[in-house]
Chains A and B, each alone.
Chain A
Amino acid sequence: MRKLVFCIGLLSLVFRLSSQETTFKTNGPDDYREGKHAFTNATIFVSYNQKIDSATLYIQDGKVVKIERGSSPSGGKGMGWIIHDMSGKFIYPSFIDIFSDYGMPETKKESRDWNPQPESNIKGAYGWNQAIHTDFQAHTNFTVNDKAAEELRKLGFGTVLTHKKDGIARGTGAVVTLANDKENLTVITPYASAHYSFNKGSSTQDYPSSLMGSIALLRQTYYDAKWYSAVSPLSAGEGSGVRREFNINLEEWNKQQTLPQIFDAGGDWQKILRADKVGDEFGVQYIIKASGDEYQRVDEVKNTKAKLITTLNFPKAYDVEDPYKAIWVSLSEMKHWELAPTNPAALAAEQIDFAFTLSDLEKKEEFLPALRKAVKYGLDSSLALKALTYNPASFVNVYDKVGSLEAGKLANFFITSKPLFDEKCEINENWIQGKRYEVKAFEPKDVRGEYSLQISEPKKESKNFVLKVTGEVASPKGLIVLNDTTKLDVKLTNKDNDITLSFALDKKPNTGKFLLTGTIEHAKNQWSGKGQNPEGEWLQWSAAKTKPAEADTAKPKKDTTDYTKNLGKVLYPFQAYGNEQIPMQQNYLLKNATVWTNEAEGNLSNTDVIIRNGKISSVGKNLSCSDCQTIDATGKHIASGIIDEHSHVAISQGVNEGTEASSAEVRIGDVVNSQDVNVYRQLAGGVVAAQLLHGSANPIGGQSALVKFRWGYTPEKMKIEGADGFIKFALGENVKQSNWGDRNTTRYPQTRMGVEQTYYNYFTKAKEYEAAWKTYNASLTSKKKSADVVAVPRRDIELDALAEILNKKRFITCHSYVQSEINMLMHVADSFGFKVNTFTHILEGYKVADKMKAHGVNASTFADWWAYKYEVIDAIPYNTAILTKAGITTAVNSDDAEMARRLNHEAAKSVKYGGLSEIEAWKTVTLNPAKMLHLDNRTGSIKAGKDADIVVWSDNPLSVYAKAEKTFVDGILFFDRDRDEKMRQWIRSERARLIQKMLEEKKGGAPTQEPKQQKMEMYSCGHEH
């Protein structure tokens, strides 16, 4: 109550919490006020697309009563409006930000001690993961914060949807106004929305540590919640489906599903697609918070059908005056600087519904300039208003309350001096729930013009001067014109009806000044008052307007620049070496090369290859093709494209979810990053496809993504259609955390013995899980009594993946080094009735080649790595050759974005070490990896009918001197060394153009930012491979 009393004491126009309207008691006599105001003669935007000139807005009790055309208030007896003359002013419905954390408690950041924390440290009947905060409700935590509110009110905002931006599931949001009132009056919709993100926020729990882990956690929580509501609690009877727990987070999760679902997918546009994909799996259409780069793939963003909340955070120009520092600014950053302001217009052009948020702005006052910039860059101004009123309000179902000035809605509006999109427009007042908040005083009345100034001093003749008042209305300047050559400056200030003048009658320094003070009679255009002359004698003065202000001849130059012209183009991907047009499939005739077929016929000299519709259509001598582009490959070598069995390129935010012994539920496929420039670089090394693998931090890692390096395609379209599912396993030092420092000595397993038991444990669980589902499914189809129907088992996406392995629908690529553990995993697999598909790295494979052959496993190894840790001290570069000679399908892999560009070198090393034939050596990076990835029916050799994944090499591809000159994927020429040369030139000139443009902007006084060197995401298996 103390706070309440304090508020009331401070405010002049308040709705006190009277006992009539509220449950609150009044201290002293009731002081209820109706708050009847009429704002006349204004230009009123009733809504984003309806404007009424010269109209009157009536409000009462904090709500809009009506808007009438015309200027005189329709009074009538007992109407008693407080009149505000708004001549020349503009009234807009106050803005709404639905991605705010206004009035939310601060998120406490616990300092992490870097000791492992596998479990949640929150006490109570909450869920298992600390990043799921569905128990949080904005309305129960909301407190008014006038300082924060004022910052937003100044910008025209009246309402926000606020939530706490912490965690992967963030609980509910509340719609509140920015009035400085008791919370009971400002909360409009308490339980308005549910919020999600990919960011674990303040959670100190280990899981999830990666983006793919966040996605898996979300998916599993959806399944858990579904199961939670489907299964009766603590029900009697048997069966695996009986739920034994009460779980606050799942209870709340289920309750929140009917609310608007808002997903914070900030980062880049790929996250919008990722969020939408999660939503699609569970029939949820999220409203997605984007980060302002949607224009880079606006068609894909549109396909999500999501409504967006986007940002006006347009990057500042980089300070690129020092060319050595300018190097650090990437082309994509420069281009984004130029194109970010076109983002809203790009969304509008695709008819995507979007709302703006202030949340990403470094300084909130950047908002209006940025909004105007968006309009200059092509956004229709009514759509700009829509994105701040109608859209946000309707996204969260409060358009019946706010977002326009229709009768019955909250009296939330702001008054401006000029149209909002005029650069000089100022917001003067923002009214919220019928209460006035002054932002900036209205301009004083215009006193400009020419005056006859008369001064009467005692005992002197009165003086007459011509006084010219010019300048801005708010800051007029005076000038006394003695004659054509002598003009004297007059300092002039005016406010309401008060005016002061001071001037000297001579330009010489130290001339004494006349000091005049007086009153303005605006109606008569007259001023008069008293003053003192330089001698200190009192005098009388007056001034009468003789001429109106001269028409503004020196009008500020109107900005007529067309900002939408001369902009750079969007690149696919939006990255250096991206294309303005994604390369298309064409038919090619490659003439007269040495062709490494990888088939029985071996290497063919002077041979042609025809590529048609993305496939190899024929291989032979003297072929012709009328609709083909012919490429003379005389003296060149044509070979099947390199396939990297073990790659970690093109992955966003974490390659390891190594926080638990098993993370079978995470999928690299959820986090493929099509923007990674390494995709292009791999193509330049003749690499066409790869298995993107989870890291090796835990015995059971995550699911792989098999991709082709389709540069410029979206993540989903890089994935190989219909490919089998794979999963990463790992053995040895990484999974037992041997080299992770002394803190990491508690996560199971810490020994190779424990690694084996981990597998037995998980596969046993997976078997039981499968059995439970079989029983359940059988119970559905049988016609037994309903009492016999068992409860539905809990869907577990981790065990799903493991069950797929048992059912030979998912295949293991296992990081492995020493012979004992290789042997072990084959035993585990045998005892569960499946086969290990591939041992990757497998540096001691040569010691158990016979056992591997018997098991039927493939090997994918490093050519010559060793000595980086204890388990590789017996690694030998002869491994590839021994395994191959022992009859095992053997590949050489990279595990490294750099080495992957020269896997041909690595393949050649098996000729040097162990004497494989060149053809055998070449297969270790082409056909053999295709076999172990189950892709050899479509790629990996040069044979009619297979995918045209082909590379033209300048030389024998095993030579250090060979360069990949052309790399085709599915018959599309994604890399061409000649084109690359042109691209380099283009990149140079495009950077130069943007640098010049940034310098211009700096010269124009715009703030800049320091260049920073971007660190690229670069992964290998773990810290130690």
Chain B
Amino acid sequence: MKKNEVASGWGIGKIFQSVFISQICFISLPVFLFAQSDVPTPAPKQSQSIYLTHATVHSGNGKVLNDATVAFENGKIVFVGESPSFKTDATMGKVIDCTGKHIYPGIIAPNTKLGLTEVEAIRATNDYAETGGYNPNVRAAISYNTDSRVTPTIRSNGVLYAQIVPQGGTVSGTSAVVQLDAWNWEDALVKEDGIWLNWPSLQSGGGWWAEPAASKENKDYEKQVRAIKDYFREAKSYSLEVAHKKANLRFDAMKGLFNGTRKLFVNASRVKEMQHAVAFAEELGMQVVIAGGRESFLIADELAQKNVAVMLDNPHSLPAYPEEDIDQPYKTPAQLQKAGVLFCLSIPGGFWQERNLMFEAGTAAAYGLTKEEALASITSNTAKILGIDKTIGTIETGKAATLIVSTGDVLDMRTSNIEHAFIDGREIDLDNKQKELNRKFMKKYGLN
């Protein structure tokens, strides 16, 4: 048992001298074992200090601390460092011995429909695509359903934040960053961060699913691009005027693009499409993020040089062309990393699928990223791209206590198992509907 100095930022300044033996790791299950709701109750505010000790801490910024402790109070991390020795003191809060376990920042799922749909095939449950071509003013936050039965299944794999994104049309709407343990959307909302634009495709058509055909050159591409430019130019001109004879709600919603408070997320996948989109954003002085970025590896140096971030499509995809390297989508993240592009991983338009986001990062690690870089691509990089990195995305003193504890390597489905999760220091109930059904039927068959 080592004795350690506790960092000066250690909250109200308690000093600990020995271990809280009584609390070792029994905390995880009992409280929630008999939860009866499909959607567990949101956790209350952090009321006592929590100490996660003797863990391998993966900070999300590349640093790994062995046998380390993370401590947090009032929702904020107050200490990250080598594990101190504690003295038994029931008044100090909760100590969780995490020997052999791994601590990571909470995972962030960007570009998702989570909470905007419940059962994809049932129209009544779909709230992600408004009618019409230009909908910058529709707000994902408004539709976000905190009571989705899907969310707890994502959370129990360590995803604690999400960027909820409207779909469809040319300008789909305004996305929202939410935390995944909330009573209602206001409670969930962290910020409304960006406007989503679907860049026209250079190739169109291609038969239908039963009879695929070669796609055709999109002859209207330039016309479509022109229409977008015209629209945004008009929006910018509107934003520069103070007074208007008549208000335009759509243009009002776009003001943030021109004063730097909102980012422009552009879905684009082919090289030329990305280049055109970036030039367009530059021209109008907008901060742009390329979403999709299927061929971003081909222009990685260019994107890095222009400081354009990429929210990359699933590494778990097939190559786009027969002759493409069979592992191209797996290794694209490593190519972006090498070129110095700020990128994060996404499962575009996914919802239940988000529980596999960390395994997509695992694959990226198998194909060239280090494990810590892969982790960053679902935590700190994502936070930077969403503009929430001041509080979220890494395990550092002063940041929000939003983190997860896994039995083993969180990126590998063979070992990934979330035992604890905290959002702003609140310990989240990791139960979900699926665990409940599992218990129910295991019991029916008398299995363990």
A residues with CB within 8 A of B: 209-210, 324, 327-328, 330-332, 575-577, 653-656, 677-678, 680-681, 684, 733, 738-739, 846-847, 849-850, 864-870, 873-874, 876-878, 882, 885-886, 897-899, 901-902, 905, 908-909, 911-914, 918, 956, 958-963, 980, 984, 987, 991, 1010, 1012-1019, 1023-1024
Q: Apart from A867-B352, A1015-B207, what 6 extra A-B contacts exist at CB < 8 Å? A: A681-B326, A867-B351, A878-B435, A908-B412, A914-B438, A1010-B217
Q: A873-B149, A960-B414 in contact; A867/B366 too (CB < 8 A)?
A: no
Interface-located stretch among B74-82, B256-264, B317-325: B317-325
Q: Is the CB of A324 within 8 A of B316?
A: no
Interface-located stretch among B1-9, B44-52, B115-123: B115-123
Q: Is the CB of B441 within 8 A of A898?
A: no
Partner of A849, one of B271, B362, B412, B445: B445
Q: Is the CB of A331 within 8 A of B323?
A: yes
Q: A876-B437, A912-B416 in contact; A869/B121 too (CB < 8 A)?
A: yes
Q: Which of B362, B365, B414, B442 has the most CB of A within 10 A?
A: B414
Q: Check B356 for interface membership: any CB of A closer than 8 A.
A: yes
Partner of A960, one of B203, B206, B272, B411: B411
Query: Sorted from nearest, which 10 A-B pairs have the closest CB atoms?
Result: A576-B323, A869-B121, A960-B362, A1015-B206, A878-B438, A1015-B212, A876-B434, A677-B322, A867-B352, A1012-B214
Q: Is the CB of B322 within 8 A of A874?
A: no
A residues within 8 A CB of B359? 905, 960
A residues within 8 A CB of B150? 867
Q: Check B417 for interface membership: any CB of A closer than 8 A.
A: yes
B residues within 8 A CB of A958? 413-414
Q: Is the CB of A961 within 8 A of B362?
A: yes
Q: Is the CB of A886 within 8 A of B445?
A: yes
Q: Is the CB of B322 within 8 A of A575?
A: yes
B residues within 8 A CB of A681? 318-319, 326
Tell me how far the C-beta of B194 lies from the nearest C-beta in chain A, rounded to whole angstroms: 26
**Cα distance A330–B215 when bound, in Å?**
13
Q: Is the CB of A1016 within 8 A of B322?
A: yes
Q: How many A-B residue pairs have CB under 8 A?
A: 169
Q: Give the contacts of B388-413 with A (CB-CB under 8 A).
A: 411-413
Q: Check B191 for interface membership: any CB of A closer than 8 A.
A: no
B residues within 8 A CB of A908? 412-414
Q: Check B279 for interface membership: any CB of A closer than 8 A.
A: no
**Cα distance A1019–B209 when bound, in Å?**
7
Q: Give the contacts of B284-342 with A (CB-CB under 8 A).
A: 295, 298, 316-319, 321-323, 325-327
Q: Is the CB of A868 within 8 A of B447?
A: no
**Cα distance A962–B121 when bound, in Å?**
35
Q: Is the CB of B119 within 8 A of A864?
A: no
Q: Is the CB of A328 within 8 A of B203?
A: yes
**Cα distance A876–B439 when bound, in Å?**
11
Partner of A1014, one of B214, B317, B412: B214
Q: Is the CB of A874 within 8 A of B414?
A: no
Q: Which of B215, B326, B442 has the most CB of A within 10 A?
A: B326
B residues within 8 A CB of A877? 434
Q: Give the contacts of B149-177 with A (CB-CB under 8 A).
A: 149-150
Partner of A869, one of B120, B206, B317, B326: B120
B residues within 8 A CB of A885? 445, 447
Q: Check B211 for interface membership: any CB of A closer than 8 A.
A: yes
Partner of A1012, one of B119, B209, B216, B317: B216
Chain B 338-359: CB-based contact to A (< 8 A → 1; otherwise 0): 0000000000000110011001
Q: Is the CB of B316 within 8 A of A902?
A: yes
**Cα distance A874–B437 when bound, in Å?**
8
Tell me how far the C-beta of A276 lies from the nearest C-beta in chain B, rounded to whole angstroms: 23
Q: A867-B119, A868-B119, A873-B149 in contact; A980/B326 too (CB < 8 A)?
A: yes
**Cα distance A1023–B318 when bound, in Å?**
19
A residues within 8 A CB of B363? 902, 960
Name 14 interchain pairs, CB-CB below 8 A, sorted by A: A331-B323, A577-B322, A654-B210, A882-B441, A885-B445, A911-B413, A960-B411, A961-B366, A1012-B214, A1013-B215, A1015-B213, A1015-B215, A1017-B212, A1018-B212
**Cα distance A367–B162 when bound, in Å?**
61
Q: Check B270 for interface membership: any CB of A closer than 8 A.
A: yes
B residues within 8 A CB of A847? 441
Q: Is the CB of A987 within 8 A of B323?
A: yes
Partner of B119, one of A209, A678, A870, A1013: A870
Q: Is the CB of B215 within 8 A of A909?
A: no
**Cα distance A669–B141 when bound, in Å?**
50
Q: Is the CB of B447 within 8 A of A886?
A: yes
**Cα distance A1014–B272 when bound, in Å?**
18
**Cα distance A1012–B216 when bound, in Å?**
6
Q: Is the CB of B121 within 8 A of A733?
A: yes
**Cα distance A905–B356 when bound, in Å?**
11
Tell me how far the C-beta of A988 lies from the nearest C-beta in chain B, rounded to whole angstroms: 9
Tell me how far the C-beta of B430 lies from the nearest C-beta in chain A, rounded to whole angstroms: 13
**Cα distance A514–B437 when bound, in Å?**
106
Q: Give the contacts of B197-229 with A (CB-CB under 8 A).
A: 203, 206-207, 209-217
Partner of B323, one of A330, A739, A913: A330
Tell me how far the C-beta of B420 lies from the nearest C-beta in chain A, rounded to whole angstroms: 16
B residues within 8 A CB of A876? 434, 437-438
Q: A882-B442, A898-B316 in contact; A956/B414 too (CB < 8 A)?
A: yes
**Cα distance A462–B214 when bound, in Å?**
73
Q: Is the CB of B318 within 8 A of A898?
A: yes
Q: Is the CB of B438 within 8 A of A332?
A: no
Tell me how far the C-beta of B443 lies from the nearest C-beta in chain A, rounded to whole angstroms: 11
Q: Taking CB as reference atom, which chain B residue is nearest A898?
A: B318
Q: Is the CB of B413 within 8 A of A912?
A: yes
Q: Which of A886, A960, A962 has the most CB of B within 10 A?
A: A960
**Cα distance A331–B324 when bound, in Å?**
10
Q: Is the CB of A324 within 8 A of B271?
A: yes
Tell me how far the C-beta of A340 lies from the nearest C-beta in chain B, rounded to whole angstroms: 17
Tell me how far the C-beta of A880 lies from the nearest C-beta in chain B, rounded to whole angstroms: 11
Q: Is the CB of B356 within 8 A of A897?
A: no
Q: Give the contacts of B218-250 with A (CB-CB under 8 A).
A: none
Tell me how far the C-beta of B201 lies from the nearest C-beta in chain A, rounded to whole angstroms: 10
Partner of A882, one of B119, B272, B445: B445
Q: Is the CB of B210 within 8 A of A210?
A: yes
B residues within 8 A CB of A987? 323
Q: Is the CB of B217 within 8 A of A1012?
A: yes
Q: Taking CB as reference atom, which chain B residue is nearest A865?
A: B352
Tell me how far the C-beta of B431 lies from the nearest C-beta in chain A, rounded to whole angstroms: 13
Q: Which of B203, B295, B323 has the most CB of A within 10 A?
A: B323
Q: A869-B121, A902-B316 in contact; A864/B356 too (CB < 8 A)?
A: yes
Q: Is the CB of A961 within 8 A of B211?
A: no
**Cα distance A1024–B414 when bound, in Å?**
28
Q: Is the CB of A912 within 8 A of B122?
A: no
A residues within 8 A CB of B272? 324
Q: Is the CB of B323 within 8 A of A878?
A: no
Q: Is the CB of A960 within 8 A of B119?
A: no
Tell me how far the C-beta of A902 lies from the nearest C-beta in chain B, rounded to whole angstroms: 7
Partner of B365, one of A327, A576, A684, A961: A961
Q: A908-B414, A959-B414, A991-B323 in contact; A653/B121 too (CB < 8 A)?
A: no
Q: Is the CB of B321 within 8 A of A330?
A: yes
B residues within 8 A CB of A1018? 209, 212, 318
**Cα distance A958–B322 when bound, in Å?**
27
Tell me how far the C-beta of A402 lies from the nearest C-beta in chain B, rounded to whole angstroms: 38
Q: Is the CB of B210 within 8 A of A678?
A: no
**Cα distance A873–B359 when bound, in Å?**
23
Q: Which of A865, A911, A1012 has the most CB of B within 10 A?
A: A1012
**Cα distance A366–B350 when bound, in Å?**
50
Q: Is the CB of A739 within 8 A of B121?
A: yes
Q: Is the CB of A1013 within 8 A of B434?
A: no
Q: Taking CB as reference atom, which chain A residue is nearest B205?
A: A1015
A residues within 8 A CB of B319? 681
Tell me how far the C-beta of B70 lies from the nearest C-beta in chain A, rounded to whole angstroms: 24
A residues within 8 A CB of B317? 898
Tell me how far the C-beta of A785 lies from the nearest C-beta in chain B, rounded to whole angstroms: 54
